[in-house]
């Protein structure tokens, strides 16, 4: 207790926002732990997400070690992992646990909660001109459900039979039968419970984001004056609110199959030569339920990165975003199409080819809004007076990765080609580039760009540039060769390729990929170091609007308190992208439209 | 952080006011209900997929033909009709509670909330009876050439196709998906009714403690009402899928 009091004392002495208008008496607990301030909740999401990213990244380093050096042993691995790496070699069971948890952690805990949770919470109230989220209480609960989900998932790493290991898509029957593998035992139950908590968190957050954007915009902030970040976060929230419940249904049915003897996803199965009593279920049904979430999930991950990149590219190009309404329209089109393409993950399940042709058409249609977005980003950059800030570099990197990864999506969306490419490294390369690394770039761009608003300090630029160049070059070096491996038929999820004559030639390439992966992982630690160092020791921000941006968050004090604005919330008179207009570099949204002002 | 002072004369979507003239809480509730509709939708579509992939399905008129305190009766769907009537009636009393709330009539809100809670409890009681009846009721089934007595569970279904055995018609095991989906979906719906009752009890207590009177409006009752009507609406679909078709 005395400890808490001391912290509270020091907090008062060193607090920067001791004089803002909405000052409540805040203890350490209410300010940093059970905070209802959207900015603090955003930071909680970000830091929890970063911890998860380090864990998930470390897992990839471990399994890349196995893939790169399938015939070597590393005695230190046994010290680290105990019986999971007997004799210094990762066991196949643990290899599958590692890839499963890598996928789960990165897709859900980092790029959904860590990305949306951070930037929706941080940017929505600041950019639409609201004092906080519609319901700060539900917002806080959203974080704590995520925390609970994190604890459960984390604890599953330490159970004796290991965490879930049936792949992040947890297809039954592997996931439904405890006897199917060691990871299908308690680890799978913990996985499902954790995801149920995660879905609650996502729902509470999403409802808040939607109602805040609809209801709490400041005067003058019409929908079409909103920054593209807000549009993207809005569609992300809608996608989450409508697609996660379907995964919840699937998870509940799967829990029933596992624990209550039902046969929703099981039928006619033999285990160890004995026939199971299950009948009448359908494993394909689970895939439908899963991918009805799973595909929108891709856009839940990608849209915030798109929105933030749009904003950052426009600010640092000192040019209005090209085709604002087309950007909004294409976000909307992507959000709609996201719900109509899930079966393209299931072309080889025996899906009716005629039905498949519909999904091919709808899938390839996504190329249209995607291309519109790419075109608009490029035309925004075209002949711009670009400032290559770290945020800008990552935003441009996002565009580059989105193009590279998007193009291979056109291959995979074709059901005929997919017969060959399905479950090969081509798929791994495609989705890692287009949604994994690209979204990470969006997230990094956002952190570098808004860090001054979050902490009132700058990140170190030199470290940031090193981080950027290693990451973008590394990302291409890791994933570009995987396309060729995949085209040659090398399947994903395999523990060891050295036994196949046809894949032996890729041994050297796999080793190369593993080495690069480790270097890139080390570069991310550089970012983490930069992040935490700069929170306390970074160069202080001295002007309210360091990037010369138009949006509302830069009209707040340098370190805004709970309530964001001192005095009245500013009124908005124009869109967010009046850059380089009438000879002026930028015109903030709060400035009334002049009498002789030109139209863009 | 409710809606900032509503500016008269500004346009619906131009900021500074709610475009739907609804509080953020109602907007949230509507989106939550959409989300929940997707959960139930996924369950019912899964049920449909599996059911229509089976060669045989149970005859609801045969499975649901009992009535409490009436012994072995043959009253197809009578009991479930009563349940449905009770639930719909509780929706009506909910509407009346909201209406009384608009009139700021505290006593009226209390009265109709109590009726709504009672309706919900009756429905849950009926469901408990029906579940017990299915889980404990023994039915003769022909299994591997021998007669056995089965109850209806998530893994047993004694209502399969009938065959001739020793000169009389006996049922064979039916698709176990029936029990699985029946208990899963009605259970999930029952859980919603249960949470609805808890919410309604909280609303009743808050009304009784004059919280809403001091606040100057009974909007919380409306939001609870939205949830309650949604739960009723879902039941209509569950009723349709399990009892009527």
For residue range B202-230, list pLDDT tens digits in order: 999 999 999 999 999 999 999 999 999 99
| Longest alpha-carbon distance in chain A | 84
Domain ranges of chain A: 30-586
Interface test with A, best of B8, B41, B42 (most A CBs within 10 A): B42
Decide if B1 and A130 are in contact by the 8 Å CB cutoff.
Answer: yes
In this predicted structure, what is the pLDDT of residue A600?
A: 58
Decide if A242 and B38 are in contact by the 8 Å CB cutoff.
Answer: yes
Residues of A in contact with B39 (CB under 8 A): 245-246, 248-249
Which CATH architecture best describes the domain B29-54+84-244?
Up-down Bundle (1.20)
- Residue B97: exposure state from Cβ atoms within 10 A (0-12, 13-18, ≥19): buried
Decide if B31 and A572 are in contact by the 8 Å CB cutoff.
Answer: no
Distances (CA, A) of A571 to A121, A590, B15, B237: 21, 6, 9, 47
User: Residue range A387-401: average pLDDT?
Assistant: 97
Decide if B50 and A218 are in contact by the 8 Å CB cutoff.
Answer: no
Candidate from A217, A221, A280 with C-beta closest to B176: A280
Q: Of A522, A477, A403, A531, nearest to A49 (Cα)?
A: A531
Per-residue confidence band for A237, with pLDDT thresholds at 50, 70 and 90: very high
* Surface of A (203-242) touching B: CB under 8 A: 203, 206-208, 210-212, 214-223, 225, 241-242
In this predicted structure, what is the pLDDT of residue A456?
A: 95
User: Residue range A442-467: average pLDDT?
Assistant: 97
Residues of B in contact with A216 (CB under 8 A): 1, 3-4, 24
Residues of A in contact with B20 (CB under 8 A): 214
Q: Of B237, B240, B241, B224, nearest to B33 (Cα)?
A: B224
In this predicted structure, what is the pLDDT of residue A23?
A: 52
| Cβ of residue B54 closer than 8 Å to a chain A Cβ | yes
- Over 60: is that where the pLDDT of A14 sits? no
| Cβ of residue A520 closer than 8 Å to a chain B Cβ | no
Domain A30-586, CATH class in plain words? mainly alpha
State how far Cα A247 lies from the chain centre: 18
| Cβ of residue B48 closer than 8 Å to a chain A Cβ | no
| Exposure b/e, A191-215, CB count within 10 A at least 16 = b | bbbbbbbbbbbbbbbbbbbbbbbbb
Residues of B in contact with A211 (CB under 8 A): 24-25, 27-28, 31
| Cβ of residue A12 closer than 8 Å to a chain B Cβ | no
- Over 60: is that where the pLDDT of B3 sits? no
Residue range A245-254, pLDDT digits in tens: 999 999 999 9
Residues of A in contact with B226 (CB under 8 A): none
Search chain B and give the residue with CA nearest A259. Answer: B154
In this predicted structure, what is the pLDDT of residue A29?
A: 85
In this predicted structure, what is the pLDDT of residue A310?
A: 97
Residues of A in contact with B13 (CB under 8 A): 222-223
- Over 90: is that where the pLDDT of B73 sits? no
Residue range A561-586, pLDDT digits in tens: 989 999 999 999 999 999 999 889 99
| Cβ of residue A144 closer than 8 Å to a chain B Cβ | no
In this predicted structure, what is the pLDDT of residue A396?
A: 98
Candidate from A203, A221, A292 with C-beta closest to B35: A203
In this predicted structure, what is the pLDDT of residue B7?
A: 46
| Cβ of residue B46 closer than 8 Å to a chain A Cβ | yes
Q: Percent of chain B scored above 90 by pLDDT?
A: 80
Decide if B27 and A222 are in contact by the 8 Å CB cutoff.
Answer: no
Q: What is the CA radius of gyration of chain A?
A: 24
- Over 80: is that where the pLDDT of A24 sits? no
The two structure tokens encoding residue A265: 């996803």
The mean pLDDT of chain A is 93
The two structure tokens encoding residue A158: 């330490």
Question: Cα separation of A284 and A173, whole Å?
Answer: 10
| Cβ of residue B27 closer than 8 Å to a chain A Cβ | yes
Decide if B28 and A210 are in contact by the 8 Å CB cutoff.
Answer: yes
The two structure tokens encoding residue A161: 């039979």
β-sheet bridge partners, residue B148: B141
Residue range A79-108, pLDDT digits in tens: 999 999 999 999 999 999 999 999 999 999
Residues of A in contact with B22 (CB under 8 A): 215
- Over 60: is that where the pLDDT of B4 sits? no
- Over 60: is that where the pLDDT of A185 sits? yes
| Closest CA of chain A from B143, distance in Å | 14
In this predicted structure, what is the pLDDT of residue A7?
A: 35
DSSP state of A508: H
In this predicted structure, what is the pLDDT of residue B245?
A: 87
Search chain B and give the residue with CA nearest A570. Answer: B16
DSSP secondary structure, B155-207, as one string: S------EEEETTEEEE----THHHHHHHHHHHHHHHHHHHHHHHHHHHHHHH
Residues of B in contact with A246 (CB under 8 A): 38-39, 41-42
- Residue A263: exposure state from Cβ atoms within 10 A (0-12, 13-18, ≥19): buried
Question: Cα separation of A41 and A37, whole Å?
Answer: 6
User: Residue range A364-375: average pLDDT?
Assistant: 97
Highest-pLDDT range among A11-15, A493-497, B66-70: A493-497
| Cβ of residue B65 closer than 8 Å to a chain A Cβ | no
Decide if B7 and A245 are in contact by the 8 Å CB cutoff.
Answer: no
Neighbouring C-beta atoms of residue B211, cutoff 10 Å: 13
| Cβ of residue B32 closer than 8 Å to a chain A Cβ | yes
């Amino acid at each position: 207790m005395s400890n808490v009091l001391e912290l509270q004392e020091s907090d008062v002495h060193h607090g920067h926002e001791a004089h803002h208008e909405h000052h409540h008496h805040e203890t350490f607990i209410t300010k940093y732990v059970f905070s209802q301030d959207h900015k603090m909740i955003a930071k909680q999401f970000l830091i929890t997400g970063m911890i998860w990213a380090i864990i998930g990244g470390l897992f990839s380093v471990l399994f890349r070690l196995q893939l790169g050096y399938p015939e070597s042993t590393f005695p230190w691995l046994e010290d680290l992992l105990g019986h999971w790496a007997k004799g210094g070699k990762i066991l196949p069971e643990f290899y599958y646990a590692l890839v499963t948890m890598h996928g789960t952690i990165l897709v859900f805990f980092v790029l959904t909660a860590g990305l949306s949770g951070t930037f929706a919470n941080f940017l929505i109230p600041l950019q639409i001109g609201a004092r906080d989220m519609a319901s700060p209480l539900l917002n806080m609960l959203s974080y704590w459900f995520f925390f609970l989900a994190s604890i459960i998932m984390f604890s599953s790493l330490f159970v004796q039979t290991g965490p879930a290991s049936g792949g992040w898509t947890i297809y039954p029957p592997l996931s439904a039968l405890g006897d199917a593998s060691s990871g299908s035992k308690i680890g799978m139950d913990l996985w499902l419970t954790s995801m149920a908590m995660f879905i609650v968190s996502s729902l509470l957050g999403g409802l808040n984001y939607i109602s805040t954007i609809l209801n709490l915009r400041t005067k003058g902030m019409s929908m079409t004056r909103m920054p593209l970040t807000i549009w993207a976060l809005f569609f992300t929230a809608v996608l989450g609110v409508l697609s996660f419940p379907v995964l919840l249904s699937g998870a509940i049915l799967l829990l029933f199959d596992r624990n209550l003897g039902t046969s929703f996803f099981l039928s006619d199965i033999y285990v160890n030569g004995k026939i199971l009593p299950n009948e009448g279920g359908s494993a394909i049904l689970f895939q439908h339920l899963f991918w009805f979430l799973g595909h929108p999930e891709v856009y839940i991950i990608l849209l915030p990165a798109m929105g933030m990149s749009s904003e950052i590219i426009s600010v640092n190009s000192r040019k209005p975003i090209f085709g604002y309404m087309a950007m909004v329209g294409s976000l909307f089109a992507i959000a709609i199409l996201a719900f109509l393409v899930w079966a393209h993950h299931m072309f080889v399940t025996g899906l009716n080819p005629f039905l498949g042709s519909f999904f091919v058409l709808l899938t390839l249609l996504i190329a249209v809004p995607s291309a519109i977005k790419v075109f608009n980003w490029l035309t925004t950059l075209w002949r711009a007076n670009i400032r290559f800030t770290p945020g800008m570099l990552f935003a441009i990197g996002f565009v580059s990765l989105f193009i590279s990864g998007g193009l291979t999506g056109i291959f995979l969306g074709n059901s005929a080609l997919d017969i060959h490419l399905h479950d090969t490294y081509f798929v791994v390369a495609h989705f890692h580039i287009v949604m994994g690394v690209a979204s990470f770039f969006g997230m990094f761009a956002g952190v570098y760009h808004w860090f001054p608003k979050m902490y009132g300090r700058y990140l170190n630029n030199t470290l940031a540039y090193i981080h950027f160049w290693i990451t973008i070059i590394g990302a291409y070096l890791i994933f570009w060769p995987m396309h060729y491996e995949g085209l040659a038929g090398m399947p994903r999820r395999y523990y060891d390729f050295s036994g196949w004559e046809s894949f032996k030639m890729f041994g050297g390439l796999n080793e190369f990929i593993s080495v690069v992966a480790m270097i890139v992982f080390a570069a991310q630690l550089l970012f983490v170091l930069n992040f935490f160092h700069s929170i306390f020791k970074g160069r202080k921000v001295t002007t309210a609007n360091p990037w010369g941006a138009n949006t509302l968050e830069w009209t707040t004090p340098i370190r805004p308190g709970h309530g964001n604005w001192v005095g009245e919330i500013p009124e908005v008179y124009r869109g967010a992208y009046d850059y380089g207009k009438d000879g002026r570099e930028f015109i903030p949204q709060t400035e009334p439209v002049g009498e002789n002002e030109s139209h863009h | 952080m409710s809606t900032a002072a509503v500016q008269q004369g500004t346009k619906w979507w131009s900021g500074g006011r709610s475009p739907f003239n609804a509080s953020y809480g109602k907007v949230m509730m509507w989106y939550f209900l959409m989300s929940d509709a997707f959960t139930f939708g996924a369950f019912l579509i899964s049920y449909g997929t599996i059911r229509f992939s089976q060669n045989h399905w149970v005859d609801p008129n045969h499975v649901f033909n009992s009535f409490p305190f009436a012994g072995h009766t043959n009253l197809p769907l009578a009991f479930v009709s009563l349940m449905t009537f009770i639930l719909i009636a509780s929706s009506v009393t909910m509407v009346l509670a909201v209406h009384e709330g608009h009139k700021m009539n505290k006593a009226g809100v209390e009265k109709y909330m109590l009726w709504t809670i009672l309706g919900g409890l009756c429905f849950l009681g009926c469901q408990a009876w029906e579940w017990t009846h299915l889980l404990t009721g023994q039915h003769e089934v022909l299994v591997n050439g021998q007669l056995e007595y089965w109850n209806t569970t998530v893994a047993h279904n004694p209502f399969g196709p009938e065959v001739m055995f020793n000169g009389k018609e006996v049922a064979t095991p039916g698709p176990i998906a029936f029990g699985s989906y029946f208990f899963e979906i009605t259970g999930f719906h029952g859980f919603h009714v249960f949470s609805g009752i808890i919410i309604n009890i909280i609303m009743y207590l808050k009304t009784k403690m004059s919280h809403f009177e001091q606040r100057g409006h009974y909007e919380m009752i409306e939001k609870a009402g939205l949830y309650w009507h949604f739960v009723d609406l879902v039941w209509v679909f569950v009723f349709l899928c399990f009892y009527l078709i």
